[in-house]
Amino acid sequence: MPRQSAGLFTSMEIDMIQFLTGLLARIGALFRARPKSSATGGLTAILAAAAIFVAPWEGERTEAYLDRIASPPVWTVCYGETKGVQAGDKYTPQQCLDMLSASLAGYHAQLAKCIPALPQQPQGVQVALTSWTYNVGASAACSSTLAKRANAGDWLAACNELPKWNKAGGKVVRGLTNRRADEQRLCLASLKGA
């Protein structure tokens, strides 16, 4: 593949290095910060882990694009953000990371409202289910069989619902199949370690 910059790295590699540098700085700040309570510190760590988990699956695109896999197609930017996105929107990698962090916090909170025991689950369960909710939406997540299983206290069955969420526009998508497999693996491994 031809190099796009005169230096040692392509522009894509430079963007990835900038993203990882920003992400590592945020994670470092999380560990240096003194949370007000252990619950806050736990949530902060979960959201940082969720950002690390979600970012590669979503991919970063700093200019808005029309996601045609979605039905109906939807304008999308950064790490899969769709709220308020319009054609022509542009963001920096740091703005994308900030947007992802804020969105994940919101999705985790919405999921915890419909699955009240979520905050007491192992970190991996929370990361996996937050990733899934970010991808499918809180409404779909909260009305799902997965949420029913979790609310019944059957977390193993809840984790095993994840592979069923591998379609977009009614068609199986390999990327979603792979993502759900990773989410399920993390969810189940966390339960075994608990």
Residue pLDDT, tens place only, 15-36: 556 655 555 555 444 444 433 3
Q: Which structure tokens are listed for 95?
A: 């703005």
Domain harbouring 35, CATH code: 1.10.530.40
Q: Domain for residue 27, yes or no?
A: yes
Q: Domain for residue 1, yes or no?
A: no
> Judging by beta carbons within 10 Å of its beta carbon (0-12, 13-18, 19+), is residue 162 exposed, middle or buried?
buried
The pLDDT score that the predictor gives to residue 93 is 95
Q: Which structure tokens are listed for 148?
A: 């029913």
- Taking the whole predicted model, whether its pTM rises above 0.85 is answered as no
Catalytic-labelled residue, pool 60, 67, 81, 161: 67
Q: Domain for residue 3, yes or no?
A: no
Q: Domain for residue 137, yes or no?
A: yes
Q: Domain for residue 133, yes or no?
A: yes
What is the domain count for the chain?
A: 1
Q: Domain for residue 4, yes or no?
A: no
Q: Domain for residue 5, yes or no?
A: no
Instruction: Tell me the mean pLDDT in the region 162-187.
Output: 95
The pLDDT score that the predictor gives to residue 23 is 53
Q: Domain for residue 174, yes or no?
A: yes
Domain housing 79: 11-193
Q: Read off the pLDDT of residues 124-173 as tens digits, 9 standing for 90 and up.
A: 999 999 999 999 999 999 999 999 999 999 999 999 999 999 998 789 99
67 catalytic per annotation: yes
